[in-house]
Structure formats: C-alpha cells, structure tokens
Amino acid sequence: MHSQAPDVGAPSTLEALRTGTALLHVALEKRLPFFSERLDAGWYQRLLQAYYGFYAPMEAVLYDGELIPEGLDPVMRVKTPTLVNDLHALGLNDRAINTLPRCANLPPLDTPAACLGALYVLEGATLGGQVLRREMAERLDVSGDNGGAFLNVYGAETGRRWKEFLDYLGRLPLDALARQHAVDAARSTFSCFEQWLDSQEVLL
C-alpha cells in the first residue's frame, strides 16, 4: 500500500471545515430563538429538551464508537450530562428525561474523519456560550445553577479547549479524501441538527 503524499496547496482540515460549513452555520444561527423577543421560559425549556434529544444519541454514537483518533479526551468533551443537570434544574426528573424524544436521523459517523467533522461542529458550538449565557440571564434569569449551564458548558475554559481542539485537529494527517469525509460529516451534523430542532418546533 502506498502512503499518501501531502496535498500541496490543498486547504488545511480546519480551512476546509470552515468553508464547507459556513453557510449552514449562518442559516441555523438565524433560526435559533435565543435572541427572539418571543422566547419565554417555556420555549427555552422545550429548546433544551430538543438539544438533549440530539446530543444524547449523537454523543453516544460518537464516543462509544471508538473511531475518534487518539489525542482527545472524551470525558472532558461530553456535554450530555450538563444538559441533564439543566433539565433537572428546570423541574424534569430522570423518568421524564428518559422519555424525551431522541433524534434517530444522525449523521453517519463510520470513519475517524467523519467523527472529526462532527466534533468540529459540537466543539465550535461552545464558542458563543458567553454571549448566550448573558442574554438568557438578563431576559429569563437563567444561570448556570437553574438551567443554563449548557449554554456555557466550558465556562472560562472555552477558549483554551477550542485551541486545544484546533491543535489536535492540526496534528492529524488527513489526505484529501479524509478531509472531504470530515467536511461531509460536519455538514450533515448541521443539517441533521437543524432538521431535528425543526421537527421539535423550537426554531424561528
């Protein structure tokens, strides 16, 4: 088997992911209701329930599949437990949480590169946490103690963890085909997430 030669002049994995998902990212952000004047406590709770319905099965497939390349600690990255804690704070017990609908239409995460693409989306989603936390605190009096921890899941570590993820991504030698698999998975993650939130009637 011949080793893959470097793709001279090809975009980095990060550049390919950014370019490949930019429009989907913007489109989803426009439909999220966090800054809508109509967002109330009930809508916020339904939104978090929908997030749980996507993140729980998504992270189960992602982290249980053992396809993520070495170098990333999943224990430090998993976000479903924080969502569960938020839902508890909002009044749901374990039985109610376990009966919440879960997304079945997940992106195919059948290669290491596909896992990287999905991780890019999930990790990138943490970057707006500070802004969302302040907005929800001002408008709905939601904080990390009463249902808003997920919005700022990494807290003061957000910037450092994002940089660590980018460094990790940059160390992985992906050829052109693997990069495309990563981009396809990232795009599919955005699409599946938006379709799921839409089906749960929590988007604008």
Tens of pLDDT, residue by residue over 106-139, are 999 999 999 999 999 999 999 998 899 999 999 9
Q: How much is the pLDDT for 170? A: 94
Average model confidence (pLDDT) for the chain? 94
What is the distance between the alpha carbons of residues 179 and 184, in angstroms, rounded to a whole number? 9
Closest of 75, 73, 78, 98 to residue 87, by C-alpha: 98
> pLDDT > 70: what percent of the chain?
95
pTM for this prediction: 0.94
pLDDT tens digit sequence for 183-197:
999 999 999 999 999
The DSSP-derived string for 105-162 is -PPP--SHHHHHHHHHHHHHTTTTHHHHHHHHHHHH---TTTT-TGGGTTGGGHHHHH
Mean pLDDT value across residues 65-69: 94
Q: How much is the pLDDT for 10? A: 61
Residue 38: is it exposed, middle or buried by C-beta count within 10 angstroms (0-12/13-18/19+)? Answer: exposed
pLDDT at 3 over 70: no
Q: How much is the pLDDT for 24? A: 98
pLDDT at 6 over 50: no
Mean pLDDT value across residues 19-37: 97
pLDDT at 47 over 70: yes
pLDDT at 4 over 60: no
> pLDDT > 90: what percent of the chain?
92
**Contacts for 42-45 with beta carbons within 8 Å, 24 or more apart?**
43/202, 44/136, 44/140, 44/142, 44/147, 45/87, 45/90, 45/147
> Hunting for tokens 């570590």 — which residue is that?
157
What is the distance between the alpha carbons of residues 142 and 137, in angstroms, rounded to a whole number? 5
Residue 68: is it exposed, middle or buried by C-beta count within 10 angstroms (0-12/13-18/19+)? Answer: middle
Closest of 202, 198, 153, 200 to residue 40, by C-alpha: 202
Mean pLDDT value across residues 76-87: 97
Mean pLDDT value across residues 169-181: 95
Show the tokens assigned to 122.
Answer: 């999930």
What is the distance between the alpha carbons of residues 162 and 140, in angstroms, rounded to a whole number? 28
Question: Domains of the chain by range and CATH?
Answer: 38-199 (1.20.910.10)
pLDDT at 59 over 60: yes
Q: How much is the pLDDT for 9? A: 52
